[in-house]
Amino acid sequence: MDVANASEAQLPAADDPSSNCCWTTPAPPGGEEDYPGLEDSTHLPGVRAALILAYGTIITLGVGGNAMVIHAVFRFRRLRTVTNFFIANLALADLLVASLCLPFTLAYTLRGEWAFGRALCFAVPCAQGAAVHVSTITLNVIAVDRLRNVALRPDGAPRLSRRACGAVVAIAWAVGVLLASPLAVFREYAVFQLAPGKSIQVCAEKWPETGGSAPYSLAMMLLQYGLPLAVNVVAYARIWSKMNAGRLSRAHRRRRKTTKMLVTVVAVFAVSWLPLHAFQLAVDVDGRVGRAQDFKLLFSAFHAVAMCSTFVNPILYGWMNNNYRSAFLDACSCYRTFDRHKKPNKMASAPPCKSNKG
């Protein structure tokens, strides 16, 4: 929709910060007195430089770290387990979150408008929402799979097959796209004329007048944060109870370190996403929060904290899991002792760095 005169039209419903968890919408067209968000603190050079540095760092670490996790799982035979395949799917979702959410959020925040055209206005929010949903769904799948293996599955019972693992991953992506589809359906692209020769492009949610975006945003808060966190807490509490009850088998003792790593991943998820969801709840309760002078800056800060979970996970894998640490070092061509079943000529092809004596 192209609008010739902003004073005679209404802006489409503003994006709910946590319904897509990926960007903030600039203030509606109008005078600076009515809409101070047009001249908020994100226009200050120091603030803009800090946002670029923060988002650039998260994007670099998020894309690089998660790409390394995926590379390690599919390259090294010892990491090709069902749990690690789910971890690779989580890394893929986090990689997409880092590459789809952060660049568009940063550009939208700094420019104050949507500058990527009509098609991407509808496609990007859906892809962003789907990636966030798949990330949280996969965390739940990993927790339930660990619960089945450690606390519920008797020793010797069949494990989840790779075919079943692939089916679960496909279902996770299908559900993620389905849950995110309203972000593409209830959306409008518009161009508002602020003054002669000056216009602003807006990509915003446009919900039915009855109910608006509140029901969907509250549902997404439960599905993206509340429910996943509850499932993870219950699952890992039962796993921990089982591991500390009586005499552990050798298999259970081997799983203890992996379980500690996964519990830490869930804790990072809970802490990093809480400020953004709390801020969104404040916006839902009091609409004046969305018109605050520093709304964009506050949202960007809370959003950056939430996005930190996309690069912290690979760091946790390398720090708390010996197999991943060795695989990461091997991938950097400094170590070639992780998969000893490789042929000698392939092992010798790496440049000499230093031996892995650990």
Query: What pLDDT score was predicted for residue 350?
Result: 42
Structure tokens at 207: 């919900």
pLDDT, position 2: 40
User: Distance between CA 180 and CA 221 in Å, rounded?
Assistant: 13
Residue 327 belongs to a domain: no
Is residue 353 in a domain?
no
Is there a domain that residue 175 lies in? yes
Interval 92-149: pLDDT, tens: 999 998 988 889 888 888 888 888 888 888 898 899 889 999 999 999 999 888 888 7
* Other C-beta atoms lying within 10 Å of the C-beta of residue 216: 18
Q: Give domain status of residue 10, yes or no.
A: yes
Strand partners of residue 3: 192
Encoded tokens for 310: 């996309």
Q: Which two tokens stand for residue 193?
A: 């004329």
CA nearest to 192, candidates 38, 4, 30? 4
Q: Is the dihedral of CA 194, 293, 49, 279 positive or negative?
A: negative
pLDDT computed for residue 223 by the predictor: 87
- Whether the pTM exceeds 0.85: the reply is no
In a domain, 356, yes or no: no
Which CATH number belongs to the domain containing residue 247 in this structure? 1.20.1070.10
- Confidence at residue 117, expressed as pLDDT on a 0 to 100 scale: 86
For residue 67, CA distances in Å to 22, 64, 106, 162, 313 come to 21, 5, 22, 21, 12
d(CA 63, CA 83): 21
How do the pLDDT tens digits run along the chain, 358 residues long? 443 333 333 443 334 443 445 543 433 434 444 444 445 677 888 889 999 999 999 999 999 999 999 998 988 888 888 888 999 999 999 999 898 888 988 888 888 888 888 888 889 889 988 999 999 999 999 988 888 877 666 555 567 788 889 999 999 999 999 999 998 888 888 888 877 878 888 888 887 776 667 788 788 888 888 999 999 999 888 888 877 765 555 555 566 777 788 888 889 988 999 888 888 877 777 667 766 777 888 888 898 999 998 889 888 887 777 778 888 887 776 555 555 444 444 433 444 444 444 3
What is the spatial distance between Cα 30 and Cα 192, in angstroms, rounded to a whole number?
A: 10
CA distance 40 to 110: 11
Domain of 257, in residue numbers: 2-320
Residue 346 domain-assigned (yes or no):
no
The pLDDT score that the predictor gives to residue 20 is 46
Q: Does residue 348 lie within any of the structural domains?
A: no
Total structural domains within the chain: 1
pLDDT given for residue 82 in this prediction? 87
Confirm whether 357 is domain-assigned. Answer: no
